[in-house]
């Protein structure tokens, strides 16, 4: 009698466990972004990009939906960086043409050269990712991140508000994200 009761109690418990884990699983599947594990791996340990930035940036490109490998996601990050720095270079050209506050102009001039350099390095970097020369691509990405930082530092040192602060931050983070993805690429 005792044994059967224990048996039926444990069956009920087991049934509940099964029911709840089943609902939990389907909930997790529906709610979790497929980019989350990758972004946790790459952005979680990185003080640069961060998980939210990784998810938003990669998620903004519809190619990332079908992309699972670190390599294909790094190609997307490199492309996003290219789009970003190309438009930033154009913005800087426009700002310099327009003229304005002397200190701002003085800080912006080196940024023009820095961004032109970053833009020039983009095709080589993308080619290096595609042909598997990850170390070469990463070296380029690190240079790009450093250049964006350098542009921003010029304004900080000059104590003027940068008109490209957001752009510097995006370029820095995208370069770090692509670099981080390539750490795991095969
Ligand atoms: C630059 O990158 C950021 C972050 O991914 C994005 O929100 C922004 O739209 C991009 N801008 C351009 C011009 O590509
Ligand atoms: C890959 O492409 C990069 C950039 O164009 C080039 O410098 C490198 O030599 C290439 N490597 C191989 C193995 O093809």
Q: If you write DSSP's letter for every residue of 50-112 in order, what string do you get?
A: -HHHHHHHHHTSGGGGT--SHHHHHHHHHHHHHHHHHHHHHHHHHHHHH---HHHHHHHHHHH
145 has pLDDT over 70: yes
Query: Which among 175, 83, 61 has a CA at the least distance from the CA of 129?
Result: 175
Reported as a pLDDT band with limits 50, 70 and 90, residue 67 is confident
Please indicate whether residue 130, judged by its CB atom, sits closer than 6 Å to ligand 2: no
- Mutation probe of ligand 2 site: the residue of 71, 78, 126, 128 with most atoms within 8 A of C-beta: 128
Q: According to the model, what pLDDT value does residue 24 have?
A: 47
Q: According to the model, what pLDDT value does residue 150 have?
A: 97
19 has pLDDT over 80: no
123 has pLDDT over 80: yes
Reported as a pLDDT band with limits 50, 70 and 90, residue 165 is very high
Average pLDDT score over the chain = 86
29 has pLDDT over 70: no
Ligand nearest to C-alpha 137:
2
Nearest CA to ligand 1 atom 13: 84
Task: Tell me the C-alpha distance between 147 and 113, whole Å.
Answer: 10
149 has pLDDT over 70: yes
Higher pLDDT, 28 or 75: 75
Proportion of the chain above pLDDT 70, given as a percent: 81
Please indicate whether residue 45, judged by its CB atom, sits closer than 6 Å to ligand 2: no
Nearest CA to ligand 2 atom 3: 128
Task: Tell me the C-alpha distance between 155 and 161, whole Å.
Answer: 6
Q: According to the model, what pLDDT value does residue 15 have?
A: 47
Please indicate whether residue 26, judged by its CB atom, sits closer than 6 Å to ligand 1: no
The lowest-confidence range among 80-84, 164-168, 182-186 is: 182-186
Diameter over CA atoms, the chain:
93
Best-predicted range by mean pLDDT among 11-15, 31-35, 149-153? 149-153
Please indicate whether residue 128, judged by its CB atom, sits closer than 6 Å to ligand 2: yes
48-61 mean pLDDT: 90
Please indicate whether residue 51, judged by its CB atom, sits closer than 6 Å to ligand 1: no
Distant-in-sequence, close-in-space partners of 87: CB < 8 Å, separation ≥ 6:
167
């Amino acid at each position: 009698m005792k044994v059967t009761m224990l048996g039926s109690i444990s069956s009920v418990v087991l049934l509940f466990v099964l029911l709840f884990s089943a609902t939990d699983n389907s909930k997790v599947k529906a709610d979790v972004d497929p980019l989350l594990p990758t972004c946790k791996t790459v952005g979680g340990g990185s003080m640069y990009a961060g998980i939210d930035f990784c998810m938003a940036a990669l998620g903004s490109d519809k190619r990332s939906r079908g992309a699972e490998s670190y390599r294909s996601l790094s190609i997307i990050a490199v492309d996003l960086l290219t789009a970003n720095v190309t438009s930033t270079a154009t913005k800087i050209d426009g700002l310099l043409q327009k003229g304005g506050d002397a200190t701002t102009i003085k800080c912006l001039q080196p940024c023009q050269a820095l961004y032109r350099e970053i833009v020039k390095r983009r095709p080589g970097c993308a080619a290096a990712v595609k042909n598997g020369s990850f170390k070469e691509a990463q070296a380029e990405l690190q240079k790009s991140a450093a250049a964006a930082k350098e542009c921003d530092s010029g304004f900080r040192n000059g104590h003027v508000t940068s008109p490209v602060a957001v752009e510097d931050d995006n370029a820095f983070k995208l370069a770090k994200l692509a670099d981080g993805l390539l750490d795991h690429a095969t």
